[in-house]
Amino acid sequence: MLTRYGTSNILILLFSSLCLLVTSYYINIQWLSVIFKLLSLILILFTFWFFRDPTRIISQDVLNDESIIISPADGKIVAIEEEFEKHYLKTDSIRISIFLSPLDVHVNRSPVSGQVKFYEYFQGDYLVAFHPKSSELNEHSRIGVENNFGKVFFKQIVGFLARRIVCELNIGDKVNSGEKFGMMKFGSRMDVAIATNSEILVKLGDRVVAGETIIAKLSSNL
């Protein structure tokens, strides 16, 4: 299944692949014609791979427990650090950063159940998504969700290949853990910031799956 968040991109890429294929039949040089056909095929395969939206099974335990934080994105844990979160939590926090390669699923899912209390969009720069300063300098969205166990802050951050974030969340919305809310297009990163007394259940280098991998647990009720 392909994600609806990428419909316009999918149409453009498929049209481009069709143009390459048609052009190949008008090229008299055989080896160049073959290259155009291969490029057309690669573009089609990339489009269907990158914009895929696989079904994810959200555990009932996760849906019933608001303290559980699940991964909002597919990718690799590249940082687990303490820092002052200045936008929403406005206190010391633990930041868990997930890096997405162009081959990972880029559809995003809510890491926690609760109500959206904060949302901001920042146009940003073009640093690679794994750069330490990309979290603040690149295009990103800032989202804050609150429930009975506390506040969770997370960011969609895109890299240097593109400046395109899709986020359907608005302040006041209620979300469930694992619920799809948007997409980051091309090389990207997702940051999740939670209270310092939370239990961290992943380590550096772990591969995580959006909607399925439990990455942390909030410690106590408000």
With a cut of 90, say whether residue 105 has pLDDT above it.
yes
| Within-domain flag for 183 | yes
31 lies in the same domain as 102: no
| Within-domain flag for 35 | yes
Three-class SS of residue 35?
A: helix
CATH code where residue 140 lies: 2.70.70.10
Residue 131 banded pLDDT, cuts 50, 70, 90? low
> What confidence score (pLDDT) does residue 114 get?
97
> What confidence score (pLDDT) does residue 161 get?
61
Beta bridge partners of 76: 99, 207
220 is catalytic: no
36 lies in the same domain as 85: no
10 lies in the same domain as 69: no
39 lies in the same domain as 106: no
| Within-domain flag for 222 | no
**Of 40, 71, 188, 198, which residue is the catalytic one?**
188
103 lies in the same domain as 185: yes
| Within-domain flag for 26 | yes
8 lies in the same domain as 113: no
For the chain, give the mean pLDDT. 91
- Domain carrying residue 165: 60-217
With a cut of 60, say whether residue 38 has pLDDT above it.
yes
C-alpha–C-alpha distance, residues 210 and 202, integer Å: 13
More confident: 13 or 125 = 13
C-alpha–C-alpha distance, residues 107 and 112, integer Å: 16
More confident: 16 or 140 = 16
39 lies in the same domain as 71: no
Work out the burial of residue 124: count CB atoms within 10 Å of its CB; fewer than 13 is exposed, 13-18 middle, 19 or more buried.
middle
7-24 vs 30-50: helix crossing angle, rounded to 10: 170
43 lies in the same domain as 139: no
* Amino acid of residue 21: L
Q: What is the mean pLDDT of residues 42-69?
A: 94
101 lies in the same domain as 208: yes
Buried b (16+ CB within 10 A) or exposed e, 41-66: eebbeebeebbebeebeeeeebeeeb
Number of domains in the chain: 2
22 lies in the same domain as 118: no
Q: Sheet holding 114-122: strands in order across?
A: 174-175, 114-122, 140-147, 150-158, 188-195, 91-100, 75-85, 207-208
